[in-house]
Structure 1
Amino acid sequence: MIERLTASVLAAVPHGFLGRRGGVSTGLYAGLNVGLGSDDDPDAVRRNRDLARDAVLPGATLVTVRQVHSPDVMRVTGPVGDDDRPEADALVTDRPGLLLGILTADCVPVLFADVQAAVVGAAHAGWKGVLHGVTDRTLEAMEALGADRARIACAVGPCIARHSYEVGEDFAARFETADPHNERFFSMGRPGHRLFDIEAYVVARLAAAGVRHIEALGEDTCSQPDRFFSYRRSCLKGEAGYGRQISLIGLATG
């Protein structure tokens, strides 16, 4: 059975953070792998994407992008074919019947909604994208559609947790150079290494941008192999590939 995690701040809109449970993929990708770029059976991936859509907003049109760790946002006005996906890392829409999807495997999925304006968004916040403003640009794109960031609610889904996310000193220096206060998101690890709390960093970026309603689920993708796909875990185990899970939000028709 598909596991669908939801956030109370988004209770008024169809949404869900889906993990790996359920689905038809087998072997290394066992479960609900939705990654078109993985080496999984393409037919299984397409079936999983249909199952994911129907778990959140049956009958909707699923729209995803080619994620490239950028701050770029796509405004969605209609269906987008899988082979026509533009490069971007966030999507926004005010059109009912469209379901926005973001794929992750440790990076941070963020779902956005202004219920009053009927505008929703989804962002893939990897470290590079969020450092360069993908969440800020998503808020701006929603405002261009009539949203008000004082009303926008944001949910931060399953991602790699601090205790699982070991990085080098040079990595931490990037964030501390951008803002010395970012030091608080890093703790000491092994000699020459730090532990990065990317979830807390994303929450802080949203709050600094003026978002007043934020909910973080606090689920670690790396340490729960039965529930989530994880790029970091796959690398540590020397596996040949890894699956991707999907986070979804949309506006119901009618």
Structure 2
Amino acid sequence: MIHPTAIIDPSCELANDVSIGAYAIIGSDVRIDSGTEIGPHTVIKGPSRIGKHNRIFQFASVGEDPQDKKYHGEVTYLEIGDRNVIREYVTIHRGTVQDQGITRIGNDNLLMAYTHVAHDCVLGDHVIMANAASLAGHVRVDDYAILGGFSLVHQFCKIGQHSFSAMGSVITRDILPYVMVGGCPTKPHGINTVGLERQGFSADSIRQIRKAYKTVYKSRLKLEEAIQQLEEMISETPEIQKMVDFLKQTGRSIIR
């Protein structure tokens, strides 16, 4: 299961069935759980914890030091959950002590070739980052969000669940759950109807989410007034609670 040309630090903890390809380098303080496959020429640096049944393709760089001038060798971490697919040339960096000291990736995510996850980012579950999408530091990406190819996300932004960014989006503010954005400059373009349908949202829920979208983006209400109207819709459509919570917690304001 481990190619003889692989270089593995003695401090690593590897499950018995972990597969490691030719010329891969696994540094110190790395733990890899069962069923995970590490492709040839991959480099993994610790402290990193990688869960079960992940597949990391050739030439990926996982758990490297953060690209932050404030980083001076402090012990920081990377945690990756289960069943993630990390394609060729993906780069994922550990956290910094200026934040929580950890970069976290959840379960069932797809990071396509050349994507970048910077220090202190947090990815939920079922996230898709298409080719060359890149996250600056401290970005949070919620469940089922999709970032189109070459999307760029500014540091500290939050990407709401079930949202969608079109190819080449430059995202400098938060994206509300369920919303599609795109264009140059990046603007909202309705809700992610196709994505919601694929995830089993009812037609009525989608209709109410579209109504909530219009309240936020087309009613010319102040954000506080729009939030009040959305709160009145929650009893009928609980999914709108996610939009309300997101709006109350946004730090950089939303793309609007």
The TM-score, its normalising length taken from structure 2, stands at 0.26
Q: Which has the larger radius of gyration?
A: 2
Q: Which has the higher contact order (CA 8 A, sep 6+)?
A: 1
